Amino acid sequence: MEVNERRLGQQVRNFEKALNGFSNTEPFARYLTRFFKENKQMGSSDRRMTSRFCYNYFRIGKAKADLPTIERLALAEYLCETHSELVAFVYPDIFATMGSLLADKIKVLFEKFNFQLRDVFPFSEHITDEIEKDAFISSFFTQPNLFIRIKRGFEKEVKSELEKADFVFDEIESQTFALSNGTKLQQLVRLEGKYEVQDLSSQKTIRFIEALPNQSWWDACAASGGKALLFLDKYPKTHVLVSDVRLSILRNLDERFQKANIRQDYRKKVIDLTKDTTSILGNELFDGIILDAPCTGSGTWGRTPEMIQQFSVNQLAEFSDLQRNIAKHVVRHLKPDGALTYITCSVFKEENENAVDYMVKELGLKLDRFEVIKGYEDKADSMFAARLIKE
C-alpha cells in the first residue's frame, strides 16, 4: 500500500513525545488527558492516533525489549490492528497478513522475529493454574468491552434509550449490557442513576454474597462503592457499613450513592485496615463482610496495559502481606457462622488461592466455594472471588 510518510512521521513524533513525557507515576489515561490539554495544536485525529499508538505499544508488554521503540510499536500495531500504515512502512513483508486471526499473527511474528508470547507477560509462573495462560496473555491485544449494570426495575427503559440513541450493545443478561469501549454514555442524561458502569466479572462476584433482610454487612474496602451498589441493588433491606482508608474516597462514594438514588440508610467510616480496627469499631460484629482487597490489579491490565511494563514481581509479596494483614483485622468483626466474601482483580495465585489458604489455616475460616472468573474469555477483567464461613 502507499504510505503517507509525512503524516506517519508526524504521528510517530506525537507518539514519542507523549511516551517520553510519561513518568509511570500515575495512570496513563490521566497523564494523556493532561498531555492533550498542554498540546492544543493537536487535532482530533492526532489525539486519536497518539492514544492508539501509546496503548498498543503498552500492550506488547515486555516482549522484544531489545528492539528500537518504533519497531516494537510496529509489532504491537500488527497484533492489535487489522490495518496500519506504520506496519506497511516498517514491516511491509508482513503487512498483507494483518487481517489474519490473532493466533496466526502470533505465529508469523514467532517465525520472523522469534516473538515469544510469554515475554509479553513474563510473570506466567505466578498465574493461577485455572487460567489458560496463552489465552490470557493474548487477550491483552484486544481492548476490553465497556459493561453496564442496570438497576432493578429500569431494564426496559435503559434498553429503549440505548436503542433510540442507536448505540450498539449486547444484552449479556437482563441487567448487564456490553458496549464497545469509548461509547459516550454521558450523552444519555436521562439515564443518570439508572445504570452503573461496572465490569462484567465484577458484577459476577455477587454470586458469592448471600444476605438476608435486616442483616448487618460491612464493605471493608469500599473504594468507589461499586460492590456496595451491587450489593444494595440485590439486597436492599440490609444494613451496610462502608469504609475506606481515604476520606476523599468516601466523599466521592456519597456523591455516587446520591446519583444512584440509594435510599437505604448506610454508615461510613474512615478505617485503616492494616491497624487494630477495634479502636474504631469496638467489638461490633457483622453477619457478612465484603473484602475487595487491594491487589496488583493484574486481571485488569487489559484496560491499563502500561502496568505490564511497570510491574515488578517484588510487588507481589508486598500485596500478599498486605492482604493477609487486612484479612486478619477484618475477620475479628465477623459473627460466628458469618460469611466473608474475598475478592481480587488479580490473576496471581499468591493473592488468590494462597490468600484463601492462609485464611483457612490461620484465621479460623472454612472455604465454602471459590471461582477464578475468566474475564479474558468475555473481553472483560479477570477476577477471583471466594466465600468463606467463620466457624
CATH number for position 183: 3.30.70
Mark whether 29 and 73 lie in a shared domain: yes
Kindly state whether residue 136 falls inside one of the protein's structural domains. no
Mark whether 107 and 169 lie in a shared domain: no
Nearest alpha-carbon partner for 379 in 231, 120, 181 = 181
Q: Which residues are annotated as a binding site for S-adenosyl-L-methionine?
A: 244, 272, 292
- Total number of domains constituting the chain: 3
| Residues that are catalytic | 345
Alpha-carbon distance of 347 to 153, in angstroms, equals 34
Kindly state whether residue 24 falls inside one of the protein's structural domains. yes
**Global pTM value:** 0.94
What DSSP string describes 74-111?
HHHHHHH-S--HHHHHH-HHHHTTTTS-HHHHHHHHHH
Kindly state whether residue 126 falls inside one of the protein's structural domains. no
Q: What is the DSSP letter of 127?
A: B
- No. of helices (H) and no. of strands (E), the chain: 17, 11
Mark whether 265 and 151 lie in a shared domain: no
Mark whether 188 and 216 lie in a shared domain: no
> Which residues constitute the domain of residue 38?
5-120
| Angle, CA 194 vertex, CA 193 and CA 195 arms, to 5° | 95
Alpha-carbon distance of 109 to 115, in angstroms, equals 5
- Of 136, 165, 197, the one marking the end of a domain is 197
Alpha-carbon distance of 17 to 15, in angstroms, equals 5
Nearest alpha-carbon partner for 306 in 36, 40, 31 = 31
Q: For residue 9, which phi and psi values (nearest 5 degrees)?
A: -60, -40
Alpha-carbon distance of 40 to 173, in angstroms, equals 42
Mark whether 244 and 166 lie in a shared domain: no
Mark whether 165 and 238 lie in a shared domain: no
What DSSP string describes 39-56?
-TT--HHHHHHHHHHHHH
Alpha-carbon distance of 280 to 220, in angstroms, equals 13
Kindly state whether residue 141 falls inside one of the protein's structural domains. no
Kindly state whether residue 307 falls inside one of the protein's structural domains. yes
pLDDT recorded at residue 187: 86
pLDDT recorded at residue 2: 84
Kindly state whether residue 132 falls inside one of the protein's structural domains. no
Sort strands 176-179 and 146-150 into parallel, antiparallel or unpaired.
Answer: antiparallel
Kindly state whether residue 138 falls inside one of the protein's structural domains. no
Mark whether 326 and 365 lie in a shared domain: yes
Mark whether 328 and 370 lie in a shared domain: yes
Mark whether 185 and 213 lie in a shared domain: no
Residue labelled with grid coordinates 493484574: 298
Could you list the pLDDT tens digit for every one of the 391 residues in the chain?
Answer: 788 999 999 999 999 999 999 998 889 999 999 999 999 999 999 999 999 999 999 999 999 999 999 999 999 999 999 999 999 999 999 999 999 999 999 999 999 999 999 999 999 999 999 999 999 999 999 999 999 999 999 999 999 999 999 999 999 999 999 999 889 898 888 898 999 999 999 999 999 999 999 999 999 999 888 999 999 999 999 999 999 999 998 988 888 888 888 878 889 999 999 999 999 999 999 999 999 999 999 999 999 999 999 999 999 999 999 999 999 999 999 999 999 999 999 999 999 999 999 999 999 999 999 999 999 999 999 999 999 999 9
Mark whether 224 and 353 lie in a shared domain: yes
**183-212: b (≥16 Cβ within 10 Å) or e:** beeeebeebeebbbebbbbbbbbbebbebe
Mark whether 210 and 168 lie in a shared domain: no
Mark whether 91 and 205 lie in a shared domain: no
348: domain CATH number is 3.40.50.150
3-class DSSP assignment, residue 13:
helix
Q: Which residues are annotated as a binding site?
A: 244, 272, 292
Kindly state whether residue 133 falls inside one of the protein's structural domains. no
Alpha-carbon distance of 190 to 158, in angstroms, equals 9
